[in-house]
A and B are shown apart, each in its own frame.
Chain A
């Protein structure tokens, strides 16, 4: 692994900026920076967002697990629990539909000139993040309820990673085919 590069803080800030530029460019080009496209997804009329996410998952997953097999990268799966993931996920979903952007796409929406994103949503997310930081000490117990940690699907099933990856990729490709064949 490129441990030396990983520990160079200044170089990492530049790499972070460059990666963000590419991500913002791709989100805007893909149409995911638009309120209409995101709400179209949540109203199940426009499947652009799901297509972008699942394509990223297929391509990313194959590359990252191949590099992991060669010892080039390490994984960083996030931990979860019932109290954290289910409650937090539902709260996020409600906010997602009210706002019509998420933390990544709102940044791209700001870049393409959406003022509801800049003046309303962005400020809201900053306030919400600040509120959570203050609530956190009181929530710690609830967040740990039903803790299952940072386990991955192949670890849980105790199988080789490719036993999960290959069928999952096939399911996603079939799903794409079905979406296109019904004109979504």
Chain B
């Protein structure tokens, strides 16, 4: 059993099936689908409150998603811990500045990767809240509930993603 847990990688089908089973439990025990992006909204609200010294409670969006710690916020914190544990016990944990695929295409400089990740994060953050969910909330939880909004959203995530990825890696001629 320990040997299995310390494997570097599992079959994607097994990891996916595990996420499916996890969803049964979150629905049953917490009445919640898995999701991640609202935790970022709540955190931005908390940061804004700290920086400005003013409550964000009067802003309409933070009335929908108050700037406080909830189930989903703890869930996202848990992801960091769970991944850290998995990486540590399999010897996969390593501080890396740049992913190898990026490095092979764009070189060793950290700044271009940092700026692309920062801008990508900003666009992703806006898009996730615009669409009302991310690859977890729409892409996994919403689709398994057969929500039409989620199937449509995940198709558009991939249309936008595949098009942009080709542009980044192969340029306009690709």
Contacts and interface: CB of A to CB of B under 8 A. Distances in A.
Interface of A: 1-2, 5-6, 12-36, 39-40, 42-44, 48-49, 51-61, 63-64, 67, 72-81, 84-100, 102-117, 119-137, 139-140, 143, 148, 150-154, 156, 161, 164-165, 168, 176
B113 A116 contact: yes
Interface residues of B, number: 130
A107 B80 contact: yes
Nearest to B33: A76
Interface in B116-174: 116-169
Contacts of A63: 20-21, 23-24
B3 interface: no
B8 to A, nearest CB: 8
Interface of B: 7, 9-10, 12-34, 36-37, 39-41, 43-45, 47-48, 56, 59-62, 69-87, 90, 92-102, 110, 113-169
Contacts of B73: 16
A136 B59 CA distance: 9
B124 A103 contact: yes
B44 A119 contact: no
Contact of B145 (A61, A110, A121): A61
Given A107-B79, A120-B118, A134 B93 contact: no
Contacts of B162: 42-44, 93, 97
Given A36-B101, A113-B87, A132-B41, A58 B124 contact: no
Contact of B137 (A1, A78, A109, A110): A78
Contact of A148 (B40, B101, B149): B149
Given A29-B7, A29-B9, A53-B139, A136 B61 contact: yes
B125 A80 contact: no
Given A19-B25, A30-B16, A31-B9, A86 B156 contact: yes
Contacts of B23: 56, 59-60, 63-64
A53 B16 contact: yes
Given A24-B80, A95-B121, 18 more contacts: A2-B31, A13-B70, A16-B71, A24-B82, A53-B154, A56-B19, A59-B19, A61-B20, A78-B149, A84-B131, A92-B128, A93-B162, A107-B79, A114-B99, A128-B123, A131-B122, A133-B61, A161-B146
Contact of B142 (A18, A43, A49, A78): A78
B163 A133 contact: no
Contacts of A105: 135
Contacts of A81: 149
B79 A24 contact: yes
A104 B17 contact: no
A10 B86 CA distance: 26
B135 A104 contact: yes
Contacts of A35: 99, 101-102
Nearest to B87: A112
B15 A115 contact: no
A21 B135 contact: no
A96 B128 CA distance: 10
A89 B140 contact: no
A98 B168 contact: yes
Contact of B125 (A42, A67, A131): A131
